[in-house]
A and B are shown apart, each in its own frame.
Chain A
Amino acid sequence: MGSYETELNLKDTELRLGLPGCDELEKRSCKRSSMELEDSKCKSNVTTSNNVSSDSSTTNEHDSDSVQPAKVQVVGWPPIRSYRKNSLQQKKTEQGDGAGMYVKVSMAGAPYLRKIDLKVYNNYPELLKALENMFKCTFGEYSEREGYNGSEHAPTYEDKDGDWMLVGDVPWNMFMSSCKRLRIVKGSEAKGLSCL
């Protein structure tokens, strides 16, 4: 119970000079410390996995913002309380615990948006049928290669990353957890979305 029972990745909290993860990060954040370490009074018997390169002491030369740091999962960083983190996640999927998973559905040309509860449906055919009924449109046959080719409309959705995707490509559960909102587009617009 409680927010502290999340899996603690022990490897992440392993004692080391730099951050867990890529070399770049280790070089960047610990190179200074590893070099000054030689002069320091600290007599720790800790083993480190540092990569001290033979570069000069102008350590920050390559710390330009063009060097994108690899995405590293550090435990407890940035320092956001679990509660707030969970709230943000909830927000993203517009999901309430036990209260259904309502997402907005829009269609070009429709005067107002609708909302449907994704939890009500068990698979794509059910969902598509419901959408067809709600908006009085047809999607036609889905194929991985062609999408909803040939039909008047096609269902798309916005995922967690903010990208617009064609409904039906990923497994249903994955879709459920990443779908933020739905949008029914004209068949012509959807052509660009079909897998290829």
Chain B
Amino acid sequence: MECRIRKKESPEPNILNQASPFPDEVLERVLGMVKSRKDRSSVSLVCKEWYNAERWSRRSVFIGNCYSVSPEILTRRFPNIRSVTLKGKPRFSDFNLVPANWGADIRSWLVVFADKYPLLEELRLKRMTVSDESLEFLALSFPYFKALSLLSCDGFSTDGLAAIATSCKNLTELDIQENGIDDKSGNWLSCFPESFTSLEVLNFANLPNDVNSDALEKLVSRCKSLKTLKVNRSVTLEQLQRLLVRAPQLCELGSGSFSEDDLTAQQYSEIESAFNNCKNLHTLSGLWDPAEQYLPLLYPACTNLTFFNLSYAPLDGDDLAKLLVHCPNLRRLWVVDTVEDKGLEAVGSHCPLLEELRVFPADPFEDEAIGHGVTESGFVALSRGCPRLHYVLYFCRQMTNAAVATVVQNCPDFTHFRLCIMNPGQPDYLTHEPMDEAFGAVVKTCSKLQRLAVSGLLTDLTFEYIGKYAKNLETLSVAFAGSSDWGMECVLRGCPKLRKLEIRDCPFGNAALLSGLERYESMRSLWMSDCKLTMNGCRLLAKEMPRLNVEVIKEEGCYEGPAQRVYVYRSVAGPRRDAPSFVLAHCGPHNARGSGKGSTTWSIVCTMQPYLVCYMRGYFQNL
């Protein structure tokens, strides 16, 4: 399909633009080949001609905070978009820190897209609210729609999926991950018409209900280009075998339940052979309820495996070790902490190419699980065997400064270091000291560090270290840490590349918040909950920085005092108009550039629910 004809914008349309030796169309064609977002951003800043060529040639856009821009502004700048990625709620909404109906609804975007991007092909959403009506609207408004990916979204049910399956004739990708979905029935899968054959990616691992296995088999049979299939837990081993024989070309497989009581020898060997025939598998996941005796079925499929997601398969260390012997090419591994240190030692022994490890807790809320799970020695053993490790997410109940220092010495290339000592404020369990030196070692040694999550008992020293050494840090997550404002000030002052800062339950107050005045416009967002901020501090911030949206989530009826949950983000779209319920007394024609007196007003949003979202809208004297 051709894109919209671009309107000539220069005053003398028939003459080659003097500033550039190329006609616009050529420039567009050349710049159209630039794929990286950052490069495109740089390109658009060179000059006006390049800005225009870039915007006309851009096909995909990524919006990290859906409220930082409006669909109108987006479509005005980029007229030819085919693929949109949108992220909505603050990340802490994943952990129930953001009330329901906070916002980030896709609906208003879809309405504008239906008008301005009729050729839209891809939509990837993370932490957005998506209703069934929106999904139906999507299915009916975009005839060329190909790829839908929903990660950690909420608000929809399988009815919405049925609408997609029914009406999106060219669908290649349906990826439903970890959402708050209302699974009413598995019938949605049967809605794909008989004539539908274009599917390449199907991921419904998230959904608990049975789907019609006959419909699934037929679908898999006729979609010859299917590369990714991730089924849900209700799919049995036996059913999986029938799917595999119909799709030996699969590259990514998510199995269903991996246990079956009545598997005959015949069935066993059929499944074995089905796995054997999948020569292209590089990703394996699912494996719910793994029965130890069936794990060997996977061995032939493991040779080329680069990503093994066992995070729903609570194996013990021995079973993991037996599996990993067959996975020499593993780059990414996700496990449950039932594998314990023994399992991590096995990882160190068998996976020298490992780059990413995530260890999830089997019993995050059980204190009696002390004595189980992984510890600092597993971490160290792992680091010895896997020098290329650069991404770690590690949930544990005990850690020492020395161990972390050793780990980063063995693996100095960490880009993502997320350590979660599950008991808040817990010190080094051997020395009883704070964990400051651990994270100090991390930031001193790992110069490429982009993302850091800290935990354990931490004083301001940790943040001094971070501010001093973590010069490439972009994302920082802090909980139950720090001693005073100084900590947060160090970070805001010292980390030039910081984009996302999320803080909960720390003793950082208004002084710390305001010390970052200069920083927030170069950041995507700041989240602070259960810290020591007050409404006054937030008002001050809003007043000083009119291009920031300063949102406070509060209990009803209290406009003074503590500001319990604060979300600050830059935006060119002004304060959002869709906050829970209705906006009272929204202030008139003033915009961010300000006019009139330097006063602060705020719109208070009244809600039926026990929360208030208060907007701080600052006005600034003309700068």
Contact = CB atoms under 8 A, between A and B. Distances in A.
30 contacts: A4-B96, A4-B100, A13-B565, A15-B564, A25-B425, A32-B459, A36-B483, A40-B484, A40-B507, A41-B484, A42-B484, A42-B507, A43-B509, A44-B509, A60-B434, A63-B457, A68-B370, A69-B367, A69-B426, A74-B424, A76-B95, A76-B97, A77-B479, A81-B94, A91-B314, A94-B289, A98-B208, A99-B210, A112-B261, A161-B368
A46 B94 contact: no
Nearest to B210: A99
B534 interface: yes
A15 B529 CA distance: 9
B302 to A, nearest CB: 23
Contacts of A76: 92, 95-97, 504
Interface stretch (A82-90, A121-129, A131-139, A150-158): A82-90
Interface in A53-77: 60-61, 63-65, 68-69, 71, 73-77
B532 A46 contact: yes
A192 interface: no
B23 interface: no
A97 interface: yes
Contacts of B610: 10
Contacts of B360: 80, 84
Contact of B512 (A8, A32, A42, A65): A42
B482 interface: yes
B539 to A, nearest CB: 14
A74 B423 CA distance: 10
A81 B95 contact: yes
A8 B432 contact: no
Interface residues of A, number: 66
Nearest to A38: B484
B496 interface: no
Residue of A41, A65, A77, A85 with most chain B CB atoms under a 10 A cut-off: A77
Interface in B56-100: 92-100
B516 interface: no
Contacts of B433: 60
B209 interface: yes
Nearest to B420: A78
A91 B288 contact: yes
Interface of B: 92-100, 129, 152, 154-157, 178-183, 206, 208-210, 233-234, 261, 288-289, 311-312, 314, 360-365, 367-368, 370, 395, 398, 420, 422-427, 429, 432-434, 457, 459-460, 477, 479-480, 482-486, 504-505, 507-512, 529-534, 555, 561-562, 564-565, 610
Contacts of B420: 78-79
B180 A1 contact: yes
A41 B511 CA distance: 7
Contacts of B157: 1
Given A46-B562, A85-B364, A91-B314, A32 B510 contact: no
Given A76-B504, A82-B96, 10 more contacts: A1-B180, A2-B100, A3-B154, A19-B505, A33-B507, A42-B512, A74-B505, A82-B95, A88-B363, A99-B234
Nearest to A76: B95
Given A43-B511, A97-B208, A82 B505 contact: no
Given A44-B510, A78-B420, A1 B182 contact: yes
Contact of B183 (A44, A73, A78, A97): A97
A173 interface: no
Given A37-B507, A98-B209, A45 B457 contact: no
Contacts of B482: 33
A94 B609 CA distance: 35
Contact of B208 (A43, A44, A96): A96
A27 to B, nearest CB: 10
A10 to B, nearest CB: 7
A186 to B, nearest CB: 23
Residue of A2, A46, A91 with most chain B CB atoms under a 10 A cut-off: A2
B561 A19 contact: no
A19 B423 CA distance: 11
A17 B507 contact: yes
Interface in A89-114: 90-91, 94, 96-99, 104, 112-114
B364 to A, nearest CB: 5
B530 A13 contact: yes
Contacts of B179: 2, 83
A5 interface: yes
A99 B509 contact: no
A16 interface: yes
Given A33-B483, A46-B534, A46-B562, A79 B94 contact: yes
B531 to A, nearest CB: 8
A191 interface: no
Nearest to A87: B312
B209 A4 contact: no
Given A1-B180, A43-B510, A77-B479, A8 B562 contact: no
Interface in A21-55: 25, 28-30, 32-33, 36-37, 39-46
Nearest to B504: A76
Contact of B530 (A2, A15, A42, A91): A15
B484 A37 contact: yes
Contacts of B362: 88
Nearest 6 interchain pairs by C-beta: A2-B180, A2-B154, A76-B95, A29-B425, A3-B180, A40-B484
A114 B364 CA distance: 30
A83 B206 CA distance: 8
B364 A78 contact: yes
A77 B505 CA distance: 11
B427 A63 contact: yes
A115 interface: yes
Given A10-B610, A82-B94, A99-B209, A44 B532 contact: yes
A81 B152 contact: yes
B457 A80 contact: no
B90 to A, nearest CB: 12
